[in-house]
């Protein structure tokens, strides 16, 4: 597996912020009060503080300067609610921060300038009671009927148990967009779907079989993860993070641990970082294998489904043998990893990788040459580069539409900072391109696993976890199999977590499904949906 | 096409018990499951699976029951799209409050007699999420439950064994 070039030195991302000075100058020319302050544990991200009235104009200038919008979260602190937004450009992450009074929690919206901010801001509105004054859509989002419009679960005076009724009523009166006209009919689907998948509601307006409009209604799996995180110790938060989205247990646990480790100034042993990367690449491979099979199955190509689900099963069995868990849960812990790889296991993993590579050599040409499969995948569910950039789409969905971005390469974190990460990119943006990118990403992940196994550093895989200083905060950003996975952590007294916000890539990818399904036929929805494969749980929190 | 046939021939039948797996091998568990189904369910068990708020880990392992290694359909177990066709409701949790009504409605839509199995540590007792403003916790807090399959998530073998155990317990004493 390690036959390729040895890991080369990637140029340091010292120029990741070359744009920042100019950008801040532009802000000041626009009369915005922007002040850069010490980032502390948020580094390598940089931090600026803003007046709340400048919040919207800041987004306008940032969008004009080509910054990408990543996330927004808030925290109730005494009489104020502090809001942070994360943006990125050229591999450098910039955090913008402001605060509003709990008495008057009104803030200009980022959504007019960044459509990606639409649902995240509504999430904040429902959980913290922040009103975004010029938000184009003031409907509730994550709130259904489990708490009232006047209650805000993430406020400090809201008890974890809340004030639930004996039976939570269904969210029957959500004001969906309506389509009118001769021949337009509406198809409501979910929250309970036909297959073994997560719950969510899709409202189609169709003319004949063609989809005129799709509106998603999510939030069904909201489990109060952000509230549950409050007061946990570091190990408890890692356990929770590992359950934000079951298929991304490594990605979320790594992002959360990275945030905590940066906050606490904990240096993770080199061997642990290598093992984490092996785990992350194995998670990427397992999910891509499963999804490629499922995509083929959704257009009736059972051969590929059986073959790829077989490969996924073999891969998961290796996971169980070496790491003790088929989905690799519990392997990433604060300060390092709970699992190690001995020489015999490393050889076993390398053998498995060779085996998988050989299987793909046989299978991929079969997929590519099968006319009836390609007929269903080529030109289906096209997401053009324009809307993809507009929506801030992430991961393989973005890369299949010409967006050449990968955190492992662009904002490299250890151990990727000493590896060459190839980033496969296609331009077509259809289901076929998403399949191609995923298959190629399996190859890259196998390559990376080979290099990592060949050069495993010695030493321990975990450092004892101390107590993080009160008020310390950190930001963890990793490239999960779905794309950029972000976690923010701030500690309170006695090393207990005060705030945790995980931003799954699905949060930005779900809206893309509404766009790419347009003009396709309703029966192609399953394959379009699977090719994106958003996490409901990771989105709903 | 030839290439595909060659691949199928070369792959062969992988459906079998892993020889080195500890505990009861899948085949014998499956045969017992099959025998129970023949006696109690006319040879066929229809399952409606509902994710009532899980992290999706349990779903991945339930899906794996249909991969060629486990191929649970050969024992007479089918996953069906409609609760109207189902004998058994397989619920992963915790039950989020936002899924509570949909879960109840799914259960109500099933013909009687009907069985309910709570899957995973979250379905069993709320797991990492417990009971909160957003979560009802265990499936048993919402529906009458006939059995529990623990695990985070339970693997396909544990799921098959758990299914067998619940079916035997639930139908004990019936002709």
In angstroms, the separation between the Cα of residue B160 and the nearest Cα of chain A is 16
pLDDT range class, residue B34, cuts 50, 70, 90:
confident
Measuring CA to CA, which residue among A261, A245, A333, A308 is closest to residue A491?
A261
Beta strands in A105-200 (DSSP E): 106-107, 131-132, 184-189
> What pLDDT is recorded for position B19?
38
Domain boundaries of chain B, sorted by first residue:
26-171
Contact assignment for B134 to A161 by CB distance below 8 Å: no
Taking the C-alpha atoms of residue A53 and residue A133, their distance in angstroms, rounded to an integer, is: 11
In angstroms, the separation between the Cα of residue A35 and the nearest Cα of chain B is 38
Domain architecture of chain A: domains with CATH: 13-132 (3.30.460.80), 225-540 (1.10.645.10)
Give the residue from B61, B97, B119 with the most A CB atoms within 10 Å of its CB, the best one to mutate: B97
- Assess if CATH 3.40.50.12280 describes domain B26-171: yes
Token pair for residue A140? 């509730």
In angstroms, the separation between the Cα of residue B70 and the nearest Cα of chain A is 10
Collect all residues of chain A within an 8 Å Cβ-Cβ radius of residue B52.
Answer: 199
Contact assignment for B4 to A366 by CB distance below 8 Å: yes
> What pLDDT is recorded for position B16?
54
Count of H-run helices and E-run strands, chain B: 6, 5
> What pLDDT is recorded for position A172?
87
Collect all residues of chain A within an 8 Å Cβ-Cβ radius of residue B8.
Answer: 303
The pLDDT tens digits along chain A (541 residues) read: 333 344 444 444 568 999 999 999 999 999 999 999 999 899 999 999 999 999 999 999 999 999 999 999 999 999 999 999 999 999 999 999 999 999 999 999 999 999 999 999 999 999 999 999 999 999 999 999 999 999 999 999 999 999 999 899 999 889 998 888 888 999 999 899 888 999 999 999 999 999 999 999 999 999 999 999 999 999 999 999 999 999 999 999 999 999 999 999 999 999 999 999 999 999 999 999 999 999 999 999 999 999 999 999 999 999 999 999 999 999 999 999 999 999 999 999 999 999 999 999 999 999 999 999 999 999 999 998 899 999 999 999 999 999 999 999 999 999 999 999 999 999 999 999 999 999 999 999 999 999 999 999 999 999 999 899 999 999 999 999 999 999 999 999 999 999 999 999 999 999 999 999 998 999 999 999 999 999 999 999 9
> What pLDDT is recorded for position B36?
77
Collect all residues of chain B within an 8 Å Cβ-Cβ radius of residue A228.
Answer: 128-130, 132
Q: Lay out the sheet containing A184-189: strands in order across.
A: A184-189, A201-207, A210-217
Taking the C-alpha atoms of residue A364 and residue A378, their distance in angstroms, rounded to an integer, is: 15
Beta strands in A218-297 (DSSP E): none
- Residue A109: C-alpha distances to residues A60, A83, A204, B85 (Å): 10, 12, 28, 48
Q: Please tell me what DSSP assigns to residue B84.
A: G
Give me the phi and psi of A161, to 5 degrees please.
Answer: -75, -20
**3-class state of residue A83 by DSSP:** strand
């Amino acid at each position: 597996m390690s036959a390729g070039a040895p890991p080369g030195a990637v140029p340091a991302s010292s120029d990741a912020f070359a744009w920042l000075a100019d950008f801040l100058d532009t802000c000041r020319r626009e009369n915005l009060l922007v002040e850069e302050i010490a980032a502390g544990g948020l580094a390598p991200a940089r931090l600026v503080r803003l007046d709340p009235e400048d919040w919207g104009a800041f987004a306008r200038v940032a969008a004009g300067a080509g910054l990408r919008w990543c996330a927004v979260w808030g925290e109730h602190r005494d009489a104020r609610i502090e809001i942070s937004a994360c943006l990125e450009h050229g591999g450098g992450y910039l955090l913008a921060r402001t605060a509003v009074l709990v008495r008057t929690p009104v803030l200009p919206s980022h959504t007019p300038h960044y459509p990606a901010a639409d649902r995240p801001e509504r999430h904040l509105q429902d959980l913290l009671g922040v009103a975004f004054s010029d938000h184009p859509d003031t409907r509730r989002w994550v709130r259904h009927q489990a708490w009232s419009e006047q209650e805000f679960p993430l406020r400090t005076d809201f008890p974890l148990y809340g004030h639930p009724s004996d039976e939570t009523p269904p969210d029957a009166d959500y004001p969906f967009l309506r389509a009118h006209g001769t021949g337009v009919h509406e198809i409501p689907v979910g929250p309970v779907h036909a297959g073994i998948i997560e719950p969510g509601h899709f409202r189609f307006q169709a003319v004949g079989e063609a989809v005129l409009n799709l509106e998603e209604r999510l939030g069904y799996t909201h489990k109060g993860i952000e509230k549950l995180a409050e007061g946990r110790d570091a190990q408890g938060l890692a356990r929770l993070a590992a359950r934000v989205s079951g298929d991304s247990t490594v990605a979320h646990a790594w992002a959360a641990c990275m945030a905590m480790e940066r906050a606490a100034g904990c240096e993770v042993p080199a061997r642990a970082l290598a093992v984490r990367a092996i785990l992350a690449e194995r998670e990427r491979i397992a999910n891509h294998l499963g999804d490629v099979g499922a995509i083929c199955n959704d257009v009736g190509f059972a051969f590929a489904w059986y073959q790829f689900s077989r490969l996924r099963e073999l891969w998961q069995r290796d996971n169980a043998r070496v790491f003790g868990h088929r989905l690799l849960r519990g392997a990433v812990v604060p300060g390092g990893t709970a699992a190690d790889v001995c020489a015999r296991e490393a050889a076993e993993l390398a053998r498995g990788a060779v085996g998988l590579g050989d299987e793909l050599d046989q299978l991929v040409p079969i997929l590519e040459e099968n006319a009836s499969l390609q007929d269903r995948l080529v030109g289906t569910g096209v997401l053009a580069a324009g809307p993809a950039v507009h929506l801030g789409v992430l991961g393989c969905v973005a890369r299949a539409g010409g967006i050449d971005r990968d955190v492992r390469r662009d904002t490299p974190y250890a151990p990727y900072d000493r590896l060459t990460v190839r980033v496969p990119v296609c331009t077509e943006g259809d289901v076929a391109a998403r399949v191609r990118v995923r298959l190629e990403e399996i190859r890259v992940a196998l390559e990376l696993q080979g290099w990592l196994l060949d050069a495993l550093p010695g030493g321990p895989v975990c450092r004892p976890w101390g107590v993080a200083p009160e008020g310390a905060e950190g930001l963890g950003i990793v490239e999960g199999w779905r794309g950029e996975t972000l976690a923010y952590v701030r500690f309170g007294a006695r090393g207990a977590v005060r705030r945790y916000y995980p931003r799954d890539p699905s949060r930005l990818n779900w809206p893309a499904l509404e766009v790419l399904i347009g003009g396709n036929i309703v029966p192609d929805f399953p394959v379009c949906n699977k090719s994106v494969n958003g996490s409901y749980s990771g989105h709903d929190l | 096409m030839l290439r595909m046939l060659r691949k199928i021939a070369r792959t062969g039948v992988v459906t079998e018990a892993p020889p080195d797996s500890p505990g009861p091998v899948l085949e014998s568990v499956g045969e017992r499951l099959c025998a129970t189904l023949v006696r109690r369910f006319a040879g066929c068990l229809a399952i409606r699976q509902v994710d009532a708020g899980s992290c999706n880990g349990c779903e991945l392992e339930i899906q794996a029951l249909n991969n060629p290694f486990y191929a649970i359909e050969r024992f007479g177990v089918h996953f069906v799209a409609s609760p109207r066709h189902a004998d058994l409701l397989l619920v992963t949790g915790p039950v989020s409050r936002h899924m509570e009504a949909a879960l109840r409605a799914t259960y109500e839509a099933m013909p009687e007699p009907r069985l309910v199995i709570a899957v995973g540590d979250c379905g069993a007792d709320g797991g990492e999420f417990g009971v909160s403003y957003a979560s009802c916790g265990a499936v048993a807090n919402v529906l009458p439950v006939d059995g529990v399959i623990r695990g985070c998530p339970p693997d396909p073998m544990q799921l098959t064994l758990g299914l067998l155990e619940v079916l035997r317990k639930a139908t004990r004493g019936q002709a």
